[in-house]
Amino acid sequence: MFRLAFLLALALAAAAGAPAAAQSVGDLDAGLGTLRLSASLAGSTTPLTGGLHWRLFSARAEPDGSRPLIVESNDAQPTLNAPPGDYVVHVSLGLASSAKRLALGAEVRSERLILNAGALRIDGVLNGPGANGGTPIDPSKLSIAIYVPDRNNPEAKLVYSKARAGEIIGLPEGSYHIVSTFLDTVGVGSIGVGKAAGAGAATPTNSIVAADIKITAGKLVEATLRHRCATVTIKLVNAPGGEALANSNFTVLTPGGDLIRDLVGAFPSLVLGEGEYVVIARHESKTYQATFEVQSGVDRDVEVVAQEGAKPEEAKPEEAKPEGVKPDAASQD
């Protein structure tokens, strides 16, 4: 549900500790103006206490159109000193911002800028009836992008590609489209994963969840994205339950033939979105094929039997598929 962000101060307090940048002018000297700044959300009179980035620019533009930066600060309520003159003061909160032009004299002046913004917090949950189903997803396993609907772009305009689950993101009031991709941090034996891509490398999977949300000024939106996926370990065996054959290569495909991942090794593993798949195994110049099914939250082994003319159903899961599985869902609280 929507709820008041009570100034967003509590949620954004962690960002308040960022050090202010060194000012480009001296301390209070004769003839300098002093500018005391604060910001609040639209509809609120209480100043924000964190997550703000202030910049003071000269109002006179350079020949290339840019405006010289005079001083900046990450303090919530900074006191800036500058020679008398015309300036533009700019404040940002995440992707939301506000600016004001002012004339500063040899005086002490207070200014408050109003941000027509709200905030968004995204959480990820692994959906499904398995032992891992219903548990929160580690933020490091999700890649979240935020888009703004665009009439001229059916896929919307990307405005932020580095959102993390659990963080508070300041956003201007409006409609947004968020896309969450589950990252494979297991990938044992996956080509392009692990040592080949560097330690701790993560690879996007085909488990993708999207949701449309609306940000209202002065409110915090909490969205829960529910992924449906599981970790699968693939083995090529001479007989069901047998030892995995070394020096095997595997290709995982959708039933329609779309490539998902190439893997190598005795028992490589990967994360897959819920659904049906085809695996092609290669060993000693021979090829074997099997089909298998992935159920969200149920990690499993898939055995491909190295027999000529092996039937697809010979790839047996460790657990039977429970009934009552619901489709992917993204909930907004």
The residues, ordered by sequence, that sit 6+ positions from 68 with a Cβ below 8 Å of its Cβ are 57, 58, 60, 62
- Beta-strand pair 117-126/219-227: parallel
Tokens 């893997």 -> residue? 263
Q: Each residue of 82-107: pLDDT tens digit?
A: 999 999 999 998 899 999 999 999 99
Burial 257-276 (b: 16+ CB within 10 A, else e): eeebbebebebbbbbbbbee
The residues, ordered by sequence, that sit 6+ positions from 256 with a Cβ below 8 Å of its Cβ are none
**pLDDT < 70 positions in the chain:** 1-30, 130-131, 133, 187-201, 308-333
Burial 45-79 (b: 16+ CB within 10 A, else e): eebbbbbbbbbbbbeeeeeeeebeebbbbbbbbbe
Which two structure tokens, joined as six digits, stand for 44?
């609120």
- Domains in the chain: ranges and CATH: 3-115 (2.60.40.10), 118-228 (2.60.40.1120), 229-314 (2.60.40.1120)
The confidence score (pLDDT) of residue 46 equals: 85
- Tell me how crowded residue 327 is: count the other CB atoms within 10 A of its CB: 8
At 56, which amino acid appears? Answer: L
The confidence score (pLDDT) of residue 134 equals: 80
| Separation of alpha carbons 159 and 169, rounded Å | 12
The residues, ordered by sequence, that sit 6+ positions from 233 with a Cβ below 8 Å of its Cβ are 188, 267, 268, 269, 299, 300, 301, 302
CA 178 to chain centre: 9
Q: Each residue of 3-37: pLDDT tens digit?
A: 333 333 333 333 333 333 333 344 445 589 999 99
The confidence score (pLDDT) of residue 333 equals: 52
| Separation of alpha carbons 163 and 213, rounded Å | 15
Tokens 């101060």 -> residue? 9
At 32, which amino acid appears? Answer: L
CA 300 to chain centre: 27
At 97, which amino acid appears? Answer: S
Which two structure tokens, joined as six digits, stand for 230?
């599981």
Q: In a 10 Å sphere around its CB, with 0-12 CB exposed, 13-18 middle and 19+ buried, how is residue 132 labelled? A: middle
Burial 142-173 (b: 16+ CB within 10 A, else e): bbbbbbbeeeeeeebeeebeebebebbbbbbb
Nearest to 332 by CA among 95, 12, 94, 2: 2
CA 104 to chain centre: 41
